[in-house]
Structure 1
Amino acid sequence: MKRVLFVCNNLDHGGIPKALVNLLREIHRDYAVDLLLFYPWGPYLKDIPSDVRILPSEGLLPLLGMPQAIVQKQSKKQAALRAFLVIWSRLFGNQLPRKWIFSTTSELSGYDTAVAFAQDNSSRAFAIGCNAYVLQKVKAKQKVTFVHCDFEQYGGNTRGNRKVYREFDRIACVSRGCREAFLRVMPDLAGRTKIVYNCTDYGLIRKLAEESAEEFEKEHCNLVSVSRITPEKGHLRALKVMKRVMPEEPRLHWFVIGDGPCLEEFQAGIREAGLSERIHLLGMKDNPYCYMRQADALFLPSFHEAAPMVFDEAKTLGLPVLTTETTSSARLIGLTGCGLVCENSEEGIEKGLRKILKEPELLEQFRKKAEAQQLDNQVPREQWERLIRSEE
């Protein structure tokens, strides 16, 4: 049985940790799987299969996966050290801080494949570091890294990061559009760059969707967004659109599930716009599906995406999607007929929003298409098998 190591920073809320757990649940019976979490924390920790061995996080490694707020609660000294390393990384780059952190840990060896599952945001960001750890501290016959973003657009498209990716044997991109964007930056890696779609736990989603939650008003048009509230997710520009549309559309309500660095600015903008009764901030939810089940459409106003897991989750629940055009939205939503893909701009979002409000029959058409989708993990499972067998 092949030995496989997965490395991730933590299992906090978000698409990458969820994708990792879903993949582990698909493959754990066929491999001897070890999992190293820099900080073994997060809501998805309980979902890891029992036969996956979770390795201890040694030395100062937890600092790479631990939020600053948690470090401060646990140790003022470590909080001060982490703050210093964050500042150093911003000013001079993260190579030396990470190398020093790694020096406090043991080397891992004996693996057929080692997988860095979480990507770095930039070469000046201290946290994460999975790619560097796998390259520097793990001995394996094959080293693989995953790309979960539009590499061409996101903040980690730096000279330092590009150099790191060239050191891996295989790069796994989570959609066709994701791979195309990556190869526009590094076309010389085409032979090593494969597609491995995210796995989805369809049965669990349907089960969780049946749990009770506060009821949406059925006479309203209820949009729901499920994501971190970060700059690239487009909440702030969507708010500008809502300020124009909501006064003319009294039925329109927007429910936002998630939190993140832009939350306070988003909250303030909602208050200033006088839309607190129409835009509902529900916070982070371990189970967003009982809210998605009630919504009229999933709303993604993102600037850029790779292959949002929430697309498949929406299809599982027969939920139509209104999304901006990103690397994979045309294939995953537009071509499947499960929703409307609008131009990636404020004007495009407003046009798409007004269209579904004026033509409610569209949402019913999208819902029927979503409910008719054949959903399973056969393709991503086969892609994973080909990836680690190093087949062309």
Structure 2
Amino acid sequence: MKNILIASFDMEVGGVERSLVSMLDHFDYKQYSIDLMLYKHQGDFMNLISHKANLLGEIPQYTTFRKSIARTIQDRQYTIGLSRILSKVHAEIFGRIKRVAEPGYYQMQLMWKYALPYLPQVEKEYDAAISYLWPHYFIAHKIKAKKKIAWIHTDYSNVETNVKLDLEMWRKFDHIIAVSDACKDSFLSKYRELESKVIVIENITSPDFIRNMAAKEAAVPMVNDDRFKILTVARLSHAKGIDNAVKALRILKDKGYKDIAWYIVGYGGDEAAIKELIAINGLDDQFILLGKKTNPYPYIKACDLYVQPSRYEGKAVTVTEAKILGKPILITNYSTAKSQVEDGYDGIITELSIEGIVDGIEKLYRDDELRKEISTNCERTNYSNSYELEKLYSLNG
């Protein structure tokens, strides 16, 4: 039996975490012994972790990556706290000089770089070590393994990082897993020299699990709303384009579509700004933030249209989940969009702009037959793909 380590940050509600839960559920535990290293044992998905995986204890220094700087210093992790302050200042200066909309990725790189000397090594040696969420410095520098594997979940062509610093880290991995062909292509547009390391393994989805979860809660507030119900499940962040969704709904309302309600399941750092934008546009009764939901599937089941208004994605887990539940789907034309839906068959891809979102929603709102056709096509398609794990097994011999 081979010993595998899988490392990630925590199990807060998110697409990456849902895909990790699915992967752990489908692993072949007769051939592989799995140690799961979570930097912080927190999140609503903790109780969904397969009991067959061995959850390792927390290491205090690594828990700091899910704590505020103030809390880190309060916990007497002074050197790591100072490295966090340094990375924050450095990234803010970089963001202002380069006019970067989201310097947070660069800050995370620096946070790990500066903290690395103060983080403990793990002594156990593994046959393979998998880093499931970027940045991958822990597996790259602090783990002994015969093979090291890193996962890509985002569109790196839209992420501002220090390429030289990233390459030093990526070169320590034997294999890099992209969750779609488009995700792989966007990564290689930035890191072409790593082409020989990159393969595609799609997120593992379980249609039976999703359908069962969708049937669990009937009393979601959307059920009793007679309006045309749009749903988005996403972090409240720049990448997910929720601000554009608010502006699009305002335009639709001005055009006379007053019976549309747009629900958002999710949470994130942009919540205050989005609430302010909703108020400014007078949409308090139409653009509704539902907050964090451990089980988003009854909400997807209850909507009339699922919309992903993202600026960029690797491969949005929620879009596949909406397809499994037979929903008409609209996504913006982010660079990996064509790997998500076949335009006109199991979804519609619209221009990545506020106007594009407006036009797409208007088209689907007015064309009941098109919505039904997309739903039918989704229902006819088998989205189960546990066979994708065979690709991972083959990397480990």
For normalisation by structure 2, the TM-score amounts to 0.88
Q: How far is 1:157 from its partner?
A: 5.8
Please say if 1:165 is aligned against 2:170.
yes
Aligned pairs for 1:318-337 (under 5 A) are 318-335=326-343, 337=345
Give the secondary-structure state (helix, strand or coil) at the position aligned to 1:216: helix
**Aligned-partner Cα distance in 1 for 2:2–2:168:** 28
**Aligned-partner Cα distance in 1 for 2:258–2:112:** 53
Query: RMSD of the TM alignment (CA)?
Result: 2.1
**1:87 corresponding residue in structure 2:** 85
Contact 1:323–1:329 (CA under 8 A) maintained in structure 2: yes
Please say if 1:317 is aligned against 2:325.
yes
**Aligned-partner Cα distance in 1 for 2:261–2:366:** 15
Contact 1:336–1:369 (CA under 8 A) maintained in structure 2: no
Contact 2:205–2:386 (CA under 8 A) maintained in structure 1: no
User: 177, 180, 188: which one pairs with 2:182?
Assistant: 177
User: 247, 259, 266: which one pairs with 1:240?
Assistant: 247
Please say if 1:258 is aligned against 2:266.
yes
> Could you tell me which amino acid in structure 1 is paired with residue 291 of structure 2?
G
Aligned pairs for 1:259-278 (under 5 A) are 259-278=267-286
| CA distances 1:354-389 after superposition (whole Å, capped 9, x unpaired) | 111222221111110111111212442222223333
> Could you tell me which amino acid in structure 1 is paired with residue 83 of structure 2?
L
> Could you tell me which amino acid in structure 1 is paired with residue 85 of structure 2?
I
**Aligned-partner Cα distance in 1 for 2:61–2:270:** 29
**1:281 corresponding residue in structure 2:** 289
Give the secondary-structure state (helix, strand or coil) at the position aligned to 1:222: strand
Q: How far is 1:2 from its partner?
A: 1.2
**Aligned-partner Cα distance in 2 for 1:371–1:51:** 32
Count the aligned residue pairs.
Answer: 374
User: 87, 104, 117: which one pairs with 2:132?
Assistant: 117
**Aligned-partner Cα distance in 2 for 1:385–1:156:** 31
For normalisation by structure 1, the TM-score amounts to 0.90
**Aligned-partner Cα distance in 2 for 1:80–1:137:** 20
| CA distances 1:57-79 after superposition (whole Å, capped 9, x unpaired) | 22412112x2429x74x983458
C-alpha change, 1:231 and 1:215, in structure 2 (3 Å) is closer
| CA distances 1:110-137 after superposition (whole Å, capped 9, x unpaired) | 21110111113xxxxxxxxxx1111111
Contact 2:153–2:183 (CA under 8 A) maintained in structure 1: yes
**1:387 corresponding residue in structure 2:** 395
Q: How far is 1:217 from its partner?
A: 4.4
Give the secondary-structure state (helix, strand or coil) at the position aligned to 1:152: helix
Contact 2:330–2:350 (CA under 8 A) maintained in structure 1: yes
**Aligned-partner Cα distance in 1 for 2:165–2:21:** 29
Give the secondary-structure state (helix, strand or coil) at the position aligned to 2:124: strand
Which runs of 5 or more structure 1 residues have no equivalent in the other structure?
121-130
Q: How far is 1:222 from its partner?
A: 0.6
**2:23 corresponding residue in structure 1:** 23
User: 201, 205, 222: which one pairs with 1:200?
Assistant: 205
**Aligned-partner Cα distance in 2 for 1:9–1:147:** 14
Aligned pairs for 1:334-353 (under 5 A) are 334-335=342-343, 337-353=345-361
Q: How far is 1:28 from its partner?
A: 4.6
User: 274, 295, 298: which one pairs with 2:303?
Assistant: 295
Give the secondary-structure state (helix, strand or coil) at the position aligned to 2:314: coil
**Aligned-partner Cα distance in 2 for 1:18–1:75:** 31
C-alpha change, 1:51 and 1:193, in structure 2 (3 Å) is same
Contact 1:28–1:49 (CA under 8 A) maintained in structure 2: no
Aligned pairs for 1:148-159 (under 5 A) are 148-156=153-161, 158-159=163-164
Contact 1:11–1:41 (CA under 8 A) maintained in structure 2: yes
Which runs of 5 or more structure 2 residues have no equivalent in the other structure?
91-109
Aligned pairs for 1:16-165 (under 5 A) are 16-29=16-29, 30-64=31-65, 66-68=66-68, 72=71, 76-78=74-76, 84-92=82-90, 93-102=110-119, 105-120=120-135, 131-156=136-161, 158-165=163-170
**Aligned-partner Cα distance in 1 for 2:64–2:282:** 40
**Aligned-partner Cα distance in 2 for 1:81–1:253:** 48
**Aligned-partner Cα distance in 2 for 1:78–1:359:** 60
**Aligned-partner Cα distance in 1 for 2:81–2:280:** 33
Contact 2:315–2:339 (CA under 8 A) maintained in structure 1: no
| CA distances 1:27-46 after superposition (whole Å, capped 9, x unpaired) | 15231100111111111111
**1:190 corresponding residue in structure 2:** 195
Contact 1:306–1:326 (CA under 8 A) maintained in structure 2: no
